[in-house]
Amino acid sequence: MSDAINYERVGDIAVLAANNPPVNALGLAVRQGLQAGIERAEAEGAKAVLIYGTGRTYFAGADIREFGKPPRAPWLPDLCARIEASPLLVVSALHGTALGGGLEVALSSHYRIAVPSAKVGLPEVHLGILPGAGGTQRLPRVAGVEAALDLITSGRHIGSAEALKLGVIDKVEEGEPREIGLAYAQELLDSGAPRRAVGEMPAPAAVDFDAVYDKVLKKGRGQLSPAVAVRAVQAACEAESFEAGMKRERELFMELMNTDQRQGLIHAFFSERAVSKLPELKGIEPRPLEAIAVIGGGTMGAGIATAALLAGLNVTLLEMNDDAAAAAKGRIEGNLQGALKRGKISAEQFDALTNQALTMATDYEALSEVDLVIEAVFEDMEVKKQVFKKLDIVCKPGAILASNTSYLDVNEIAACTSRPEDVIGLHFFSPAHVMKLLEVVVADRTAIDVVATGFDLGKRLRKISVRAGVCDGFIGNRILATYRTAADHMVLDGASPFQIDKAMTAFGFAMGPFAVSDLAGLDIGWAVRKRKRAEGMDPRARDSSYADKLCEGGNFGQKTGKGYYVYGEDKRSASPNPEVMELIEAERAEKGITPREFSDEEIVRKYMAAMVNEAAKVVGEGIARRPLDVDMTLLFGYGFPRYNGGPLKWADIVGLPDLLADIKRYAEEDDYFWQPAPLLEQLVAEGRTFDDLNKEAS
């Protein structure tokens, strides 16, 4: 018997307790143990079997680390069939999260009981696959087709109350899973309850599966797994037998298992967890964090304050004067109203957050006791320095002084204080109470426990925190600046902004780069271009000025109703702004450029090559520690499609030699912009991938 499953006999009941921390994933040893346990229970004359998990959860699913490796028997679908076929009464007692293969084992049991806090779900589509151990065949039989389609295509987790209502579980009871499971199994034996195999239940009635498939495919914005899962549920209704439905599920499961999307999504799953685990932070205690201050309550300051309040921190917000403070308070209240409307907080919590946890201030003395200050004033070095000099005077020793700057040099900001070791960049994304990404920007002299506190804050605010080094734009904005420039070059050469947006949304981005600029405000890019020109651009760099002309005309994008697109009242209906093409054509004529046709495929390759090349430089220079840090930055801050894993995972999948060859070809026309990243050249020369670097670093 494997150690992963402990066998115990309690009267007529054989108890199989899973012991595979942390989440009782159904790896080989667990599957072997369950199979052996069922066989032993039958051989020893038990009348019932209880399956439960020790530790924090029932089985949270198949062992994802086994995916992509040769499968080893017993396979999960066969194990589920074996459990279901047992002549004994099989009961599962659920706690924690019964997910994926875990719920499939539970559905193969004849009865299911759960503690009130248990959650169940079939989240496989988020990993690019579908439930592959009977979930698509058994769930519709117990919960009906509509509920099964909802749960399987959304992958959402549901609580025990909803699971009970849907018939996914039979009973909810307070207590330890072992105790409630034993009592329930005994009760079933005493009452002579029959063995109840879901696979033997009649097939559910079919719905219009083609219509559901089309709807789900569209909603997936390029992600295949939810739509393919619809076809598997269809087989539950339409296949000749349960076994035939299982066969169809397996075919579709294997089809998805072999996709690049599966690789991308699983990379995202593990990277999301690895990204904030830095070896240098092991054992480092973060500084205490109870009360924080935010300087500047504009778009970002108000969003950061909202996020902190929602995480239970006390916030003092400092603005320039009473009017600005009142406006900032209004913004925060507006954000919290949104949380109230969505049921995330109650009316009492709203009152407590706005009246007690939040303090508005205009005097720096109010900041003397806070543990951390996040500056979010205008993006101007002189203004920032003035703020940090004042903070240096008033803040208590050990208080952390952070800047939310997008591009400015955090070392220079730190140097204007007497305590550079306490200074760090905490770069949030707009809207800061919604966007998941936080770049923790570590300056040359930042103390290690200040870094640890940055990550601790990110965790408390439920952000994905990524470590970044200091450079112009850190990880995300630096890479953005490069691929955005590649897009501008393509526009000068003949593509339209609208074609580029269309090609990149078809690739899977939530929005195209020009629509994003309209959303962020065209004045931001304008200011950056002006700054770069003032600093002196390399004469070989291609510059373009058509977007400046849009700004000069007072068109800053969504906020003025017009930018690359013209917006309706609701901001949703947008149509291309015809003036844009006129400005572009004028600039092409002025520069003597004869426009040429671009295919969508060429646009994607060039745009992605620029992104990957800059990302490789960012990793090569140590601004990002690992390729996965870049991948998570683009995924959580820049709308990169999760099913492609991130730009560097995508690069591995399409092949680094091909990408490097593209870059070298582009360099024949513009060898200033297209300078291959040394790291990319090195990896190609050594026949290695970015993921090899991730593995070496873990």
The catalytic residue positions are 104, 124
Window 317-346: contact mask with ligand NAI (x via CB under 6 A): -xxx---x---x------------------
DSSP collapsed to 3 states, 513-530:
HHHHHHHHCHHHHHHHHH
Binder of residue 246, out of ligand 3HC, ligand NAI, none (CB less than 5 to 8 A by kind): none
Residues 417-456 as x/- pattern, contact with ligand NAI by CB under 6 A: -----------xxx--------------------------
Distance CA(498)–CA(487), nearest Å, equals 11
Exactly one of 99, 377, 500, 615 binds ligand 3HC (CB under 6 A); which one?
99
Give the binding range for ligand NAI (CB under 6 A) out of 184-192, 237-245, 313-321, 417-425.
313-321
* Among the listed residues 37, 77, 140, 296, the single contact to ligand NAI using CB under 6 A: 296
Residues in CB range of 274: below 8 A, 6 or more apart? 628, 694, 698
Residue of the chain from 298, 338, 576, 595 that contacts ligand NAI (CB under 6 A)? 298
Tell me the C-alpha distance between 114 and 120, whole Å. Answer: 10
Which partner, ligand 3HC, ligand NAI, none, binds residue 296 by CB below 5 to 8 Å per kind?
ligand NAI
Judged by DSSP in three states, 612 sits in helix
DSSP structural state of residue 562? B
Minimum CB distance to ligand 3HC smaller for 168 or for 500? 168
Please state, in angstroms and as integers, the Cα–Cα distance from residue 219 to each residue in 47, 131, 154, 321, 461, following that order. Answer: 47, 19, 10, 46, 28
Nearer to ligand 3HC, 57 or 555 (CB): 57
Instruction: Return the DSSP state at 313.
Output: -
Residue 109 token pair: 């049991």
CB 427 within 8 A of CB 468: yes
Per-residue exposure over 637-665, b if at least 16 CB sit within 10 Å of its own CB, e if not: bbbbbbbbbbbbbbbbbbebeebbebbee
User: What does 23-83 look like in DSSP terms, one character per residue?
Assistant: TT-B-HHHHHHHHHHHHHHHHTT-SEEEEEESTT-S--SB-GGGTTSPP-SSPHHHHHHHH
Indicate which of ligand NAI, ligand 3HC, none lies near residue 63 (CB less than 5 to 8 Å, by partner kind): ligand 3HC
Q: Of 78 and 392, which has the nearer Cβ to ligand NAI?
A: 392
**Residue of the chain from 361, 481, 492, 520 that contacts ligand NAI (CB under 6 A):** 520
Q: Which does 23 bind (CB under 5 to 8 A by kind): ligand 3HC, ligand NAI, none?
A: ligand 3HC
The minimum distance between CB 36 and ligand 3HC, in angstroms, equals 20
Per CB under 6 A, which region of 35-43, 293-301, 455-463, 631-639 contacts ligand NAI? 293-301
Which two tokens mark 416? 């204007």
- CB 44 → ligand 3HC: shortest distance, Å? 29
Give residues 5-64 in contact with ligand 3HC (rule: CB under 6 A): 22-23, 25, 60-64
Q: What's the CA gap between 494 and 597, in Å, rounded?
A: 6
Burial of 127 (0-12, 13-18, 19+ CB in 10 A): buried
Indicate whether 301 belongs to the interface with ligand NAI (CB under 6 A): yes
* Least distance between ligand NAI and beta carbon 331 (Å): 9
Calpha distance 620→612 (Å, rounded): 12
Determine the longest span between alpha carbons in the chain, in angstroms: 90
Minimum separation from the CB atom of position 697 to ligand 3HC (A): 14
Smallest distance, Å, CB 366 to ligand NAI? Answer: 12
Which range touches ligand 3HC (CB under 6 A), out of 124-132, 443-451, 501-509, 597-605? 124-132
Instruction: Report how far residue 581's alpha carbon sits from residue 578's, in angstroms, rounded to the nearest whole number.
Output: 6
Taking residue 592's Cβ as centre, other Cβ atoms within 10 Å add up to 6
- Which residues are CB-contacts of 47 (< 8 A; sequence separation ≥ 6)? 12, 13, 88, 89, 189
Residue 627 in contact with ligand 3HC, rule: CB under 6 A: no
Q: Which of 33, 131, 521, 647 binds ligand 3HC (CB under 6 A)?
A: 131
421 contacts which partner out of ligand 3HC, ligand NAI, none, CB within 5 to 8 A by kind?
A: none
Q: Which two tokens stand for residue 511?
A: 């929005």
Does residue 297 bind ligand NAI (CB under 6 A)? yes
Shortest Cβ 232–ligand 3HC spacing (Å): 11
359 binds ligand NAI (CB under 6 A): no
Each residue 379-408 as x (binds ligand NAI by CB under 6 A) or -, in order, gives x---x---x----------------xxx--
432 binds ligand 3HC (CB under 6 A): no
For the bound state, the minimum distance from the C-beta of residue 384 to ligand NAI, rounded and expressed in Å, comes to: 7
d(CA 62, CA 3): 18
Binding partner of residue 22 among ligand 3HC, ligand NAI, none, CB cut-off 5 to 8 Å per kind: ligand 3HC
x/- site string to ligand NAI, residues 648 to 677, per CB under 6 A?
Answer: ------------------------------
At 217 the three-state DSSP class reads helix
Sheet containing strand 48-53, edge to edge, reads: 5-10, 13-18, 48-53, 89-94, 111-114, 171-172
The 156-175 contact track toward ligand NAI, x by CB under 6 A, reads --------------------
Binding residues (CB under 6 A) for ligand 3HC: these are 22-23, 25, 60-65, 76, 97, 99-101, 104, 123-124, 127, 131-133, 135, 273
